[in-house]
Structures are given as structure tokens and as C-alpha cells.
Amino acid sequence: MLQSFKLAIKAILSNKIRSLLTMLGIIIGVAAVIILVSIVSGYMGQMVKQFEEMGVNKITIFCRNMTTRHMDDNDMYSFWDEHPNLISGLSPSVSLSNAKVKSGNENLESTTIIGVSEDYLDIQKYKIEEGRGLVYADVAGRSSVCIVGAYVANTFYGSSDKAIEDSIKINGKPFSIVGVIETQDEDNFDEGGTDDFIWIPYTVATKMSRNGYINNYVLTSSDTDYTNEITTKLKEKLYNIFKNERLYNVTANSSIIKQLNEEIGTLTAMLAGIAGISLLVAGIGVMNIMLVSVTERTREIGIRKALGARQGVIMQQFVIEAAVTSTIGGIMGIAIGALATKSIGAMMEIEANPTIWAVILSFGVSVAIGLIFGYLPAKSAAKLNPIDALRTD
């Protein structure tokens, strides 16, 4: 075995250009599998992370309320009272579209304004930079108070601390600013961005929107293990009210993440398979080069067989030579794939690291290709008649 390995290394080094061209397909195939799988995994992982930051235990409810069939905030809070151990937070969500925001002579056109409950801050996992959040008294008393995003505070007042206890007008109605949320996205700190929003008590927003019923709610489960149970119970309650599944929708973030992970797995497998085709082509290249090598070394094989070398020894030599060629190509492909993954990930501004299973799989396939596609040339060499081989020029 050791002698066959030494002969394989000697044969590779004696034909450097041909050996490199033989390895090229393996190198490209292995690198392609690693790059594609790792970049896709990195990109999808970033998407999953964003969903997780939004709250894995978050559940959103949408209702198409009608006069005869509707779901109001009392119904939702009653549902919480029925399952106090399953739910940790609940907030109606009332959007004021096309509302005009003004402070002094300045206006904001794209500010998102929603009516929420005192639980919304914890549901969104935001933190207060200055002041306080909404409290139950604000909601129950329909107080004209609001929480603003960092962009609103900086645009109108210059800083978060100066915004506190000042007032802002929404559709001409003055609201006292009691809290400022800390900056969420410094890269998108602009009008219409993540930090351009205002929260007011949902009881006030409902009256301002002139909508008799609240269509949107968001709640959080006290544990992610309870998400499916809550979703099932919610759907049962909503069906009892609406009698039509098309009139409501319940979406759990955990189910979205689960579905996303399944799609990631399918897409990754497809890309790995596509990139793996190049490894198959590379294997055919290895076989062709090894067949040429057998033809060129016919006389050498004849001498070895005349000196007593068995068929198994001859076959072993050529199989090992093909395997060593593929192994070296695989190692070079891993190195190139890892470097390229980091570089491409940096250019795409995503955290992309070589996926371990892709590295192991592509390397294992490259070695297997050397063994499988090296077998036919090795078998051909082992069956050569020593007399005929010695007569070959």
C-alpha cells in the first residue's frame, strides 16, 4: 500500500500539468458546492435571524369584521383570561393610514402611526431610550399621549431627551410625547425607515380611524412550546364567531420560520446537486486521463507483471493514483471554496461561513469519484498480458 502511494505521488509529480488539468474539474466542483451551499445558507440564515428577532413566539391575527360577525378587543382579552398561562402579552393594532404628523411648522409624510396597548413594547422587544412606555391608564383613559421613534424625536426636537413632554400633532390632534424608543436601524435612519413611527393608545386610534372594529391583533405565547396550542384554540374561537375560515387568519412566526427552514433545506440540496454535476464530469475526466496513463505505461506494467506483480497490486496502484489525484483536488477545492465564500459573503454583506456538511460531502464525493472512476482504468491495467505489454514500444 505504501509503495503504491509513493508511486502514485511520483506519477503525479512527473506529469504536473496533466495532473493539474485532471484535478481542475474536482477543484471547481468542490469549490462550487461549498460556495453555493454556504452563501445560500448564510443568506437564508440571516432571514431566519430577522424573523427570530421579531419574536419566535409572536402570533398575529387578522379579522375581516362585519356587522353581524366580528371580533373586538374584549373578545381577545377574554381569550387571554381563559388561557392566562399560555399568553404573555396582547395588543390590538390599529393603523392610521395617511395621517398627517406635524410639530411646529415641520411635517413628516411617511411616519407609521399605529394604536397599540401597553404590552406592545415588550412584544416588539424594543427598549425605551427616554421617558416611559404606554401604561394601562393611558389605554383605559384614552389619554392623548404617544411614544415616538428615534427618527421622529431627532427630526423635530434634535434629540430624544428634548422630545419628552413636548407635543406633536396627528391629524391636528395634539399628543404629549411620554417616551422615545432607542434607535433600531442606524443604516436606515431616514423618513419612512424603521425608526420613523409613532405609537398611541389603541383606544384613541380606533376613535380617530372611525372604524367600529379592530381588525389586527398581535400576541406572544409565554413559551414557544405553547404556540401551536394557542394557534389551534384561536382558530377554534374565531371559527365559532365567523363561521367562515376565509374571514380570519392566524399566523405564528414559529411556523413561518419552520417553513422557511424547510425551504432552505430543499433549495440548498438542489444547489448542491447542480454543483455536484461538475464533480461527475470531473470523474469522467479522471477516468479518461487514467486510461491514457495506462496506455502510456503499458511497458512498465508488463515489466512489473513479469517480475511477479499480481493483478491486485497493479489494480491497487492505479486506483490509489486516481484517489490521490482526486483527494489533492478536493483539498485545493476546499481551500478555494472557503476563501471565495468569505469574499463573496463580505461583498454581499452577509455572514457566510463554509458549511461543514458541504465541505465533508464534497470532499467525500471527490475521493469516491477517484476510487470509482479510477477502477475501470486500474482493471484494464491489471488485465494486460505481460508478454504483449513488454512488446509495446
**Do 41 and 62 fall into the same domain?**
no
Residues 66 and 42 in one domain: no
Q: How many domains does the chain have?
A: 2
Q: Using 50, 70 and 90 to split pLDDT, how confident is the model at 295?
A: low
**Same domain flag for 79 and 177:** yes
155 and 67 co-located in one domain: yes
Assess whether 214 and 331 both reside in one domain. no
152 found inside a domain: yes
Are 199 and 302 part of one and the same domain? no
- 36 and 183, same domain (yes or no): no
Same-domain status, 154 and 302: no
- How wide is the angle at C-alpha 27 spanned by C-alphas 26 and 28, nearest 5°? 95
The pLDDT tens digits of the residues spanning 98-154 come to: 888 888 888 888 889 999 999 999 888 899 999 999 999 999 999 999 999 999 999
Flag whether the pTM goes above 0.75.
no
227 in a structural domain: no
Q: Which domain holds residue 179?
A: 58-222
Q: Tens of pLDDT along 311-337?
A: 666 667 767 777 787 888 888 888 998
* Residue 253 resides in a domain: no
Any domain includes 235: no
pLDDT in tens, 216-236: 999 988 887 788 888 889 999
Any idea of the CA torsion for 208, 211, 212, 215, to the nearest 10 degrees? -120
Indicate if 18 and 92 belong to the same structural domain. no
The residue out of 163, 193, 222 marking a domain boundary is 222
Long-range CB contact pairs, 303-307, < 8 A, 24+: 303/389, 303/390, 305/384, 305/386, 305/389, 306/386, 306/390
Are both 107 and 12 inside the same structural domain? no
Query: Alpha helix locations (H) across the chain?
Result: 2-14, 16-55, 73-82, 120-124, 136-140, 150-157, 160-163, 202-209, 227-242, 253-296, 298-306, 311-348, 356-382, 386-391
**214 in a structural domain:** yes
